[in-house]
Structure 1
Amino acid sequence: MKNIKYIIGVLITFALFLTSCESYLEENPAGNISIANFYSSEDDAIAGLYGVYNSVYSLYGNTAINYGEVNADNATVSPNVSDLFEWDEFTYNNGLTEGFWRSAYDGINLANEVAWYTSEIDFDSDKKADIVSEAKALRALFYWHLVRAMGGVPIYETPTVGFENVNAPRATAEEVYSLILRDLTEAALELPTTSAAGRLNAHIADALLARIYLYRGDYLNSLNHAKNVIDSGDYDLFPDYANAFKTEHNNGIEHIYQIQYLSGERNNGIPGSFGPRALPGPYGNSFWANTVVGGSIAPSAEFNAENPISYRRSVTIADSYEHIDGVTGTITMEEAYGPGVFPYYVSKFDDRAKELQSGVNFNVIRYADILLIAAEALNEVDPGNSQKYVWINKVRARARNGVEADLPDLAGLSQDDFRMAVLEERRFELAFEGQRAWDLKRRGQFLNVMRSQGKNVEDFMLLFPIPDNQIRLNSSLTQNPGW
């Protein structure tokens, strides 16, 4: 916890410094002179690195949920609110994608500054190499979010200086992926295998590479990087599925990479986004929480119907909740919202004691995901290898929590049946963690699944639009077809 508080404290301090800077593509030419002067010691390089981590927050939490869940089949917008209508109905406006674009490129430019200026500072060469590699790995993370959402985007590998070279054209998706894989591969080889909470290390780089290669359909490389993480012996599943999402278990044995939060200093909005929104009348806030929570996102009817009975299901969604005082009693969702209106809420991230000041970390990637990646990749590389069952059944065994009739071990499946089984396992194991839409897209199922739910999804909507404002600012940019 001491490490977490220190990192967050530095992040917040550096964030205040950054608020005086112009955003990417509108940078003051004098700004880079002061930035260059800032980098004069190892401590300056580390402070700059924490500034990059500050930008990572914009990629996760609600942003990851909106891009990876709300526009997929697991989640929908609560019938009591309309603030996420664009995500649920695929009518993204310019403001939604603009914020994502600007945040990603702000992070990329900050990472480029760290890598560029740190290289010129005179201090221990090994430490310098680690900082530069870490900055480039963070840059890769920003580019990964951009390229899978929008396709090919402009590549910048050096800091912007004034208005020079700020209007680069779109690179191809292949060129962007080449940069991403190069930087993360370097990080996997260069960085230590352990790090302070919230910072990248070699194992995290391997885990991200396993995920990215899986998304790309490069199953051999995905398997190799997943096995690097598994064979390290540094991770395992929590015996209790619920513990992967509790504040008291932050940075635990299952957590490969988490975004760090600390109640009262940097709060995680996810629990409030999923909690049942308070209603006027006799119930209001008095049951679920003492403050008004966002309550924007609900599990879809399809998810409720198709999620098999298991302990994991009971952790993930609930149809009732106890009064916040722990004494008064319980209320069902039907009693509060009416029959069939809002029958379940996502209980997986409940942090009601802190309400809108949740300190639970956000899971970017955890060990269960790596086991499922390894199982899926092995099924493609060597479908007869029974090790794939060991990995997927380990996840299922934890999910059923000793009830053998729930989620029995898998065996004897055809290669295609195993493909479907591991995709379904990912659906329910990683539900509402920002992965579902991407899993459907990489498997070519997104359009059919969403249309089966009655959504008006056209073929071009596999990619998000480039923000109109960025096209106006940069005449070299072109819009994704259809938008």
Structure 2
Amino acid sequence: MMKNIFKISLIVSFIMLIVSCESILDEDPPSSISLSSFYQTESDAIAGLYGAYSLVYNVSAGTAINYGELNADNLAISPIVSDAFSWDEFTYNSDVTGGLWSSCFSGINRSNEVILYTERIDINDGTKADIIAEAKALRAFYYFQLVRAMGGVPLYEEPTVGFDNIYAPRASEDEIYNVITRDLSNAVTELEETSSAGRINAYIASALLARVYLYRGDFQNALTYAQKVIDSGVYDLFDDYAAIFKPENDNGIEHIWQLQYLSGETNNTVPGNFGPRGIAGDYKNSFWANTVVGGGVAPSAEFVAESPQSYRKSATVADHYEHIDGVTGTITMEQVYGGAFPYYICKYDDREAELQSGENFTIIRYADILLMAAEALNEIEPSNNQKYTWINMIRERARNGVETDLPNLSGLSQDDFRTAVLEERRFELAFEGQRAWDLKRRGLFLETMRAQGKTVEDYMLLFPVPDAQIKLNPNLEQNTGWE
């Protein structure tokens, strides 16, 4: 499928047009160029929409891994670069969230511009409604990244104009979530069921709504919207778990929404960062790939030990690989790293990329929806055996024909099923940016991290608001504990 909606030339030209004079204030006030003059045609509105989409890159992929995995129990900093980051030890300060804040509010403001100015264009009403609904869905996506990370944040439903309305105080979490669910619900109703690769459609909006409602503990609505995706018949599981993450299968049957990458143009750094880094910090000499391998993160010892034996595990982490030259043969991690780096994450295995990886990053996929539905149904109607059908579909694929691995579940108590589905999510969705959020929404984050020996204070359930923003906006207050 085409990946043209994120072509860098279009995005850069549009961003240069409307934000070349962007202020240091991260609520993204417009430049002196009149946006109302720019928005004259349907093509202008689409260009504006692409500008709003461009910030999805900044808050997904590597950023999603940092916020959703690196501060949880699945992922750790590679022992080879143990002094490089502070995410896994919770020693970061308020500067850490500056990029997320800036990117999300830029995306929100550009979405608001599309919503406001597209309404004034003389185009077909249906087309206009679709563009506006898509922009609202993007606004909801950006707000969801902010609110679950930092709690209540300033709420903007119109573009910032000059410096008159950029000092909003923090809205409550409920107010932010009301806007998120309202905007995504509008997208479910208004948008078409299919879209070009990377763009939001009605089923993507439904999947996002299911994720939002699950995070909020609204299991009835989570089930309702997950069921919409399941009943659509549009999506299914790949037969082979490893196939999900191969570049040649991008935008496949299981991928509900993917961030579009193209090697040499828009490069995905996640595969290289998960690959085995070269000895003594040599980025290039790992024998694993044709390109630079950052190798900054590794599976935690707990993840490797606790992951059930299965085909899925072998497609997720490995202690050896084949030399990229195709001649030398097997290279073991023990052989190269002497025990300092016993496993690497082989899930994102784009080894043959000559520049950087063009493998898409999956924001949400069908297996996630099945597990959401199973979890929600267990909370609403625990005696309904449909929940087993959904979770066992995941387990059947994971065992790949080996009947002794991951047998089908049945006859569990409601509480035991809660544990089972959370564990299934841990290993099925490993390193996809969901683990920390799953632990937080189930109230298990603090005890899980403390069991790993991490020093985690209660207030660290939320990330800090960037100090720079508090200095710029006198109406902002810092999250408790981060003062």
Shorter chain as denominator, the TM-score bin is over 0.9
Amino acid at match of 2:470: I
Shift of 1:331: 1.1
Moved more, 152-161 or 15-24: 15-24
| 2:301 aligned with 1:301 | yes
Residue 57 and residue 284 in structure 1: after superposition, are their counterparts in 2 closer, same or farther (change >3 A)?
closer
Equivalent position of 1:462 in the other structure:
461
Once the two structures are superposed, the pairs formed by residues 77-96 of structure 1 within 5 Å of their partners are 77-82=77-82, 84-96=84-96
1:59-104: CA deviations, max 9, x gaps?
1011000000000000000011146522111122343211110111
Counterparts of 2:378 and 2:252, CA distance in 1: 29
| 2:346 aligned with 1:347 | yes
CA contact (8 A) 1:334 1:342 kept: yes
Amino acid at match of 1:412: G
Amino acid at match of 1:165: N
Equivalent position of 1:402 in the other structure:
401
Amino acid at match of 2:85: F
Moved more, 186-195 or 23-32: 23-32
Equivalent position of 2:473 in the other structure:
474
Equivalent position of 1:433 in the other structure:
432
Shift of 1:27: 8.1
1:158-205: CA deviations, max 9, x gaps?
011100110000000000000000000000000000000000000000
1:398-445: CA deviations, max 9, x gaps?
111111100000000000000000000000000000000000000000
Counterparts of 2:95 and 2:256, CA distance in 1: 32
1:112-158: CA deviations, max 9, x gaps?
00000000000001000000010011000000000000000000000
CA contact (8 A) 2:76 2:299 kept: yes
Residue 245 and residue 21 in structure 1: after superposition, are their counterparts in 2 closer, same or farther (change >3 A)?
farther
Residue 221 and residue 32 in structure 1: after superposition, are their counterparts in 2 closer, same or farther (change >3 A)?
farther
CA contact (8 A) 1:24 1:106 kept: no
Shift of 1:18: 5.5
Counterparts of 1:220 and 1:94, CA distance in 2: 36
Equivalent position of 2:234 in the other structure:
234
Shift of 1:54: 0.5
Once the two structures are superposed, the pairs formed by residues 248-263 of structure 1 within 5 Å of their partners are 248-263=248-263
Residue 90 and residue 281 in structure 1: after superposition, are their counterparts in 2 closer, same or farther (change >3 A)?
closer
1:380-413: CA deviations, max 9, x gaps?
0000000000000001101111111000000000
Once the two structures are superposed, the pairs formed by residues 383-394 of structure 1 within 5 Å of their partners are 383-394=382-393
Residue 94 and residue 23 in structure 1: after superposition, are their counterparts in 2 closer, same or farther (change >3 A)?
farther
Shift of 1:356: 4.9
Counterparts of 1:327 and 1:347, CA distance in 2: 20
Counterparts of 2:395 and 2:118, CA distance in 1: 46
CA contact (8 A) 1:278 1:292 kept: no
Counterparts of 2:470 and 2:183, CA distance in 1: 27
Counterparts of 1:388 and 1:281, CA distance in 2: 47
Q: How many residue pairs align between the two structures?
A: 481
Shift of 1:7: 4.0
Counterparts of 2:102 and 2:333, CA distance in 1: 39
Shift of 1:5: 3.0
Moved more, 151-160 or 13-22: 13-22
Shift of 1:31: 2.0
Residue 377 and residue 265 in structure 1: after superposition, are their counterparts in 2 closer, same or farther (change >3 A)?
same
Shift of 1:283: 11
Q: Secondary structure at the match of 1:85?
A: coil
Equivalent position of 1:317 in the other structure:
317
Shift of 1:37: 1.1
Identical columns (%): 66
Residue 465 and residue 277 in structure 1: after superposition, are their counterparts in 2 closer, same or farther (change >3 A)?
same
1:250-275: CA deviations, max 9, x gaps?
00000000000011110101001101
Counterparts of 1:196 and 1:24, CA distance in 2: 34
Residue 315 and residue 84 in structure 1: after superposition, are their counterparts in 2 closer, same or farther (change >3 A)?
same
1:331-381: CA deviations, max 9, x gaps?
111111112x21100000011101651111001000000000000000000
Q: Secondary structure at the match of 1:40?
A: coil
Q: Secondary structure at the match of 2:257?
A: strand
Equivalent position of 1:76 in the other structure:
76
Counterparts of 1:353 and 1:28, CA distance in 2: 39
Moved more, 80-89 or 199-208: 80-89
Amino acid at match of 1:110: R
Equivalent position of 1:371 in the other structure:
370
Residue 217 and residue 52 in structure 1: after superposition, are their counterparts in 2 closer, same or farther (change >3 A)?
same
Once the two structures are superposed, the pairs formed by residues 217-228 of structure 1 within 5 Å of their partners are 217-228=217-228
Shift of 1:284: 6.4
CA contact (8 A) 2:21 2:32 kept: no
Q: Secondary structure at the match of 2:331?
A: strand
Equivalent position of 2:153 in the other structure:
153
Counterparts of 2:97 and 2:28, CA distance in 1: 24
Q: Secondary structure at the match of 1:31?
A: coil
Counterparts of 1:278 and 1:15, CA distance in 2: 37
Shift of 1:23: 4.5
Unaligned runs of 5+ in 1: none
Unaligned runs of 5+ in 2: none
Residue 367 and residue 26 in structure 1: after superposition, are their counterparts in 2 closer, same or farther (change >3 A)?
closer
Equivalent position of 2:118 in the other structure:
118
CA contact (8 A) 1:86 1:93 kept: no
| 2:60 aligned with 1:60 | yes
